[in-house]
Amino acid sequence: MIDSLPPGVLLIVGAGVLPMLSGRWRSVWTLLLPVASGLQLWGAFPAGTSRTFELLGYPLTPVQADPLSLVWGYIFHLAAFLCALYAWHVRDLVQQVAALIYVGAALGAIFAGDLITLFVYWELTAISSVFLIWASRSERSYRAGMRYLIMQVGSGVILLAGILFHYRDTGSLAFGDAFHKILAPLPLASDGQFLGLNSPGTALIFLAFGIKAAFPLLHNWLQDAYPEATVTGTVYLSVFTTKLAVYALARGFPGTGILIGIGATMAVFPLFYAAIANDLRRAMTYILNNQLGFMVTGVGLANFARHPEVAQLAINGTASHAFAHILYEGLLFMALGAVLYRSGTIRGSQLGGLYRSMPWTAAFCLVGAASISAFPLFSGFVTKSMIVSAAAEQHQTAVWLALMFASVGVFLVAGIRIPAVTFLGPQRGPRLAEAPGWMLAAMASSAAFCLLLGIWPAPLYALLPYPVEYKPYTAAHVITQLQLLAFTGLAFATLKLRGLYPVERAAINLDSDWFFRKPLPAVVGGLYRWGVALRAGVSRVGEAVLVEALTWVKKHCGPPGLLGRSWSTGGMVIWAAMLLGAYLILYYL
């Protein structure tokens, strides 16, 4: 019976059991469900599994498992377990129910084989995840959650519109069949086998995916909402929403050239904001945006029609980097969350020297920093370089330079600045207790995976959609990466010693959402006031005209008026004869 449920549904259904449990039993349940769901996925849905049925005349495929979806399915289950372990102390029923539904919906979307099923899960992730933001129960979190919900539900509405246009044009709701068919050695697929940007419908679907993937100028919901979520809610949010969007792009739009430029831009511009953000969780969301840029670039480089071998490398790089990124980015958010949990603040200007009182948290944060910076023997080293190599093999020089610059920036901000600001330097404030045991266990597990994948990437490579011939540990690659890291560290030290590196201070950093927060409301407010004034003016004019008309009617049709008098029979006959004569004249003329 359980095996017949699509992946993720077990988590959604299991969320309904939580209100019947209490205390620690709810935490146990949230740990057991990802394990049970993961075992179900492992045993009941091998690659090639497909479940199809018809609803109201529409063919739906709630389950379509292939090597691409399984990569995301496995890491989503692992991340769900680690997040639940990290959130062991949470007794808030709203957060626990929302988290399980959110994870289940993300998993359901990963294995959706049709666009209608994808849309249902797409919207469910939006509606369930917003409660992880509102669970902070503050005015800031409420407003940020509302803005987040507008963007996420808006993405779903655009997706639905695109699906309807696409179905009108093609008569098909399939999502993934084409990609499933090319998962063979050396596929020679044409662009037409994917959704592609070849119609208004697919353009709308692309835009919906782009909103959730935090494309440039569509990214602000990420930095606005995630830092306002709860300590554990931010960890959950950092894993599922944006990686679901990357998966959707990889399945629907591989090789779409515009994604290369979008991804390269995403990899570079958030770094400047991350370098000056005082709220360290907000700084990490900018780094999250940067890492998404690498994945989006990888999707854009996967042009199977022109470069099939490089396309395989790009998709493998995107999938493996998403896998590793979920672990090390989650680890960094866990470390910052533990600091927030103990200190009550995550502002860089109020932190420092915490390695003395939170040594284990500091150590795990350094593992995450080394992984995201792509140090040899850490997970980022064996995944990110696949995307960079794909750009080099396609002779995309500008893109390659942008990705190398982004790698330097990530090391400066996430590899050096955030750990240094939080755990090094003079201690500010009272001495804190180390993070609770359950948080340390979740961080230790994530750190172990980051090291294991970096030292022994073969198990991860075996999960990837295509056979992996890439060798990360070559002398050239190791030496080049060490040189890059060494010169970046030297540059940071030089800037700090000369006082040129931005210091941590409380400030408001304007991003493109300023236009949505300030000018746009002012313009809308001005248009509203103009409309109210116009309506009032039209009402006054209409009222004056109506009064004038009623006065005329009263004057001429009232008792003293000409039309209000009693007419004699003879007079009426004369008028009738005159009108008849006039009509006859006009008729014959």
Q: Which pair of structure tokens corresponds to residue 544?
A: 């004056």
Q: Which of 190-199, 343-352, 410-419 has the highest mean pLDDT?
A: 410-419
Question: What is the overall mean pLDDT for the chain?
Answer: 88
End position of a domain, from candidates 178, 212, 240:
240
End position of a domain, from candidates 432, 467, 502:
467
- Count of domains forming the chain: 3
Q: Is residue 249 one of the residues assigned to a domain?
A: no
Q: Is residue 483 one of the residues assigned to a domain?
A: no
Output the pLDDT for position 181.
Answer: 44
Q: Which pair of structure tokens corresponds to residue 357?
A: 């009182």
Domain shared by 222 and 312, yes or no:
no
Helix (H) or strand (E) holding 55: strand 50-55
Q: Which residues contact 577 (CB under 8 A, 6 or more apart)?
A: none
Q: Which of 147, 132, 91 is nearest to 232 (CA)?
A: 132
**Residues spanned by the domain of 427:** 254-467
Of 2-6, 155-159, 208-212, 426-430, minimum mean pLDDT range: 426-430
Q: Which of 262, 284, 240, 277 is nearest to 110 (CA)?
A: 240
SS3 429: coil
Domain shared by 232 and 287, yes or no:
no
Output the pLDDT for position 351.
Answer: 87
Is the confidence at residue 37, as pLDDT, over 90?
yes
Q: Is residue 486 one of the residues assigned to a domain?
A: no
CB-based contact 189:178 (threshold 8 Å): yes
Q: How confident is the model at residue 98 (pLDDT cuts 50, 70, 90)?
A: very high
Q: Is residue 304 one of the residues assigned to a domain?
A: yes
Output the pLDDT for position 556.
Answer: 67
Q: How many CB atoms lie within 10 A of CB 417?
A: 24
Q: How confident is the model at residue 193 (pLDDT cuts 50, 70, 90)?
A: very low
Domain shared by 127 and 90, yes or no:
yes
SS3 470: coil
Output the pLDDT for position 375.
Answer: 94
Q: Is residue 473 one of the residues assigned to a domain?
A: no
- The span from the CA of 162 to the CA of 148, in Å, is 21
Domain shared by 527 and 438, yes or no:
no
Output the pLDDT for position 1.
Answer: 59
Q: Is residue 566 one of the residues assigned to a domain?
A: no
Q: How confident is the model at residue 100 (pLDDT cuts 50, 70, 90)?
A: very high
CB-based contact 173:167 (threshold 8 Å): yes
Global pTM value: 0.87
Output the pLDDT for position 192.
Answer: 37
Amino acid identity, residue 229?
A
Q: Span 439-454, mean pLDDT?
A: 96
Q: Which pair of structure tokens corresponds to residue 93?
A: 């029923």
- The span from the CA of 364 to the CA of 348, in Å, is 18
Domain shared by 47 and 178, yes or no:
yes
Q: Which residues contact 163 (CB under 8 A, 6 or more apart)?
A: 115, 116, 119, 173, 201, 205
Domain shared by 37 and 184, yes or no:
yes
What's the per-residue H, E or C state across 496-562?
HHCCCCCCCCCCCCCCCCHHHHCHHHHHHHHHHHHHHHHHHHHHHHHHHHHHHHHHHHHHHHCCCCC
Cα-Cα-Cα-Cα dihedral of 489, 493, 498, 501, to 10°?
60
Percent of the chain whose predicted confidence (pLDDT) is above 90: 61
| DSSP tag of 138 | S
Domain shared by 438 and 349, yes or no:
yes
Is the confidence at residue 373, as pLDDT, over 80?
yes
Domain shared by 205 and 279, yes or no:
no
Output the pLDDT for position 183.
Answer: 43
String of DSSP letters for 141-208: HHHHHHHHHHHHHHHHHHHHHHHHHHHHHHS--BSSHHHHHT-SSS----GGGS--S-SHHHHHHHHH
Is the confidence at residue 514, as pLDDT, over 80?
no
Domain shared by 446 and 373, yes or no:
yes
Domain shared by 90 and 143, yes or no:
yes
Helices (H), ranges, 253-378: 258-274, 280-301, 308-343, 359-372
Based on its alpha-carbon atoms, the radius of gyration of the chain, rounded to whole angstroms, reads 31
- The span from the CA of 130 to the CA of 237, in Å, is 9
SS3 223: helix
Is the confidence at residue 505, as pLDDT, over 80?
no
Domain shared by 443 and 528, yes or no:
no
Q: Span 336-340, mean pLDDT?
A: 95
Domain shared by 279 and 224, yes or no:
no
Q: Is residue 479 one of the residues assigned to a domain?
A: no
Is the confidence at residue 180, as pLDDT, over 60?
no
String of DSSP letters for 403-424: HHHHHHHHIIIIIIIHHHHHHS
CB-based contact 159:204 (threshold 8 Å): yes
Output the pLDDT for position 522.
Answer: 82
End position of a domain, from candidates 208, 240, 272:
240
Is the confidence at residue 585, as pLDDT, over 90?
no
Measured in degrees and rounded to the nearest 5, phi and psi for residue 426 equal -70, 145
Helix (H) or strand (E) holding 60: strand 58-64
Output the pLDDT for position 82.
Answer: 97
Q: Span 10-34, mean pLDDT?
A: 93
Q: Span 124-145, mean pLDDT?
A: 94
Q: Is residue 434 one of the residues assigned to a domain?
A: yes
